[in-house]
Copies of this chain bind each other. A is one copy, B any other.
Amino acid sequence: MTLQPGFTGSPLDRADHLRTDENALLALRRDPAARALLLRGLDPITGDDGGIGWRPLDADDHARELLFLGLDDGAPRFAALDWDGPRGGSMAVLQLLHRLPAADVALYGGARSLVDWHYRHSFCARCGAATTLFRGGWGRRCGSCTAEHFPRVDPVVIMLAEHEGRVLLGRQPQFPPKMYSALAGFLEPGESLEEAVRRELHEEAGVHALSVQYLLSQPWPFPSSLMIGCIAPVASDTLTLDTAELQDAIWVDREEVRAVLRGEPGARIMTPPPLAIAHSLLTAWASRQ
């Protein structure tokens, strides 16, 4: 089965070759078709058509740091940094995103990660001096030591441990009532994704992966993760939970996963919404056999 994971499918051509061409960037800014993403802090503002909103560039933009997001059918798309405005986002953004077209969600997600990275990285981590944007917004350069800094993407492994036709779902203390999801954790320097999956399953649930099968991936813009979804058969269903990470964990069979995904009333648990990769992982697993 083919799944479209959340936050994928952006229509933009990133046009990487234009980022380093200062004359081309100037021409893109002056293009009458150029548009800037409408944001309130990090939150999207919907347009008249119900998708994410855009505005023409205005005179003020020439004094702003503009991020060149790419070309949409040839038309330049930007996001403007507003250092005097709010820089945060609301908790309700996911509810809004679930009502937007998938392509808009993907475009917004990538832009949000990039905008947020600038707001949180305006100083040089090497020497502490102020930095300025370069490469059309795909980097910042230190005005003092000239170090170059690039947007972060943090790889996260998220996996379904599998044992005799059931998968393991865990519950973090801050989850909404009844919510259970796949176990997950940040990949660290010095490990492959397979090693990260094995480590996280062992740390959080005390289970030993026999193998690791990559399934699918997606970006997650809170703030900027690459979610790497895997399935890992494990040697035993005996759990030793890290109670600092997990409040509870349960084994769930296909029938129950299918019922939960269908939204049947009276289900024992809830699973994450379709934009979350855990939903795609469970959908893919439930469709097997």
| Residues of A participating in the B interface, judged by any CB pair closer than 8 Å | 5, 7-8, 10, 14, 16-17, 106-107, 109-111, 113-114, 117, 120-130, 138, 147, 149-155, 186-195, 199, 203, 214, 216-219, 221, 224, 226, 228, 242, 244
Contact of A8 among B125, B191, B214, B216 (CB under 8 A): B191
A127: chain B residues at CB < 8 Å are 123
Contact between chains at A125 and B114 (CB < 8 Å): no
What residues of B have a CB within 8 angstroms of the CB of A152 in the complex? 152, 154, 189
Query: Nearest Cβ in chain B — how far from A2, in angstroms?
Result: 10
The 7 lowest CB-CB distance pairs between A and B, nearest first, are A110-B190, A113-B189, A123-B128, A121-B125, A214-B214, A128-B128, A192-B217
Q: A189-B221, A190-B109, A190-B110 are in contact. Are A126 and B126 (CB under 8 A)?
A: no
Chain B residues in 8 Å Cβ range of A16: 203
Say yes or no: B190 contacts A114, CB within 8 Å: yes
Beta-carbon contact of B123 and A190 below 8 Å = no
How many copies of this protein are present in the complex?
2
Additional 15 contacts, C-beta under 8 A, given A124-B125, A192-B217: A16-B203, A17-B242, A106-B190, A110-B191, A120-B125, A121-B125, A123-B123, A123-B127, A125-B125, A128-B128, A150-B154, A153-B186, A155-B226, A189-B224, A193-B217
A117 partner residues in chain B, CB cutoff 8 A: 189
Give the CA-CA distance A138 to B186 in the complex, in Å: 12
Inter-chain CA distance A129–B125, complex, in Å, is 9
For A225, the closest partner residue in chain B by CB is B189
A155-B226, A189-B114, A218-B192 are contacts. A203–B17 as well, Cβ < 8 Å? yes
Please measure, in the bound complex, the distance between the C-alpha atom of A107 and the C-alpha atom of B190, giving whole angstroms: 7
In the assembled complex, 9 residue pairs joining A and B whose CB atoms fall closer than 8 Å, in A order, are A5-B192, A14-B188, A107-B190, A109-B190, A123-B128, A150-B154, A152-B152, A189-B219, A194-B217
Would A191 and B10 count as touching, CB distance under 8 A?
yes
Residues of B within 8 A of A189 (CB): 110, 113-114, 117, 151-153, 219, 221, 224
B contact residues around A120 at 8 Å (CB): 125-126, 147
> Are B113 and A190 in contact, CB atoms less than 8 angstroms apart?
yes
**In the assembly, what is the distance between CA of A108 and CA of B186, in Å?**
20
- Complex alpha-carbon distance, A150 and B224, angstroms: 13
Given A125-B122, A125-B124, A126-B122: A216 and B192 interface contact (C-beta under 8 Å): yes
User: CB-CB < 8 A to A190: which residues of B?
Assistant: 7, 10, 106-107, 109-111, 113-114, 219, 221
Q: Shortest beta-carbon distance, A196 to chain B, in Å?
A: 9
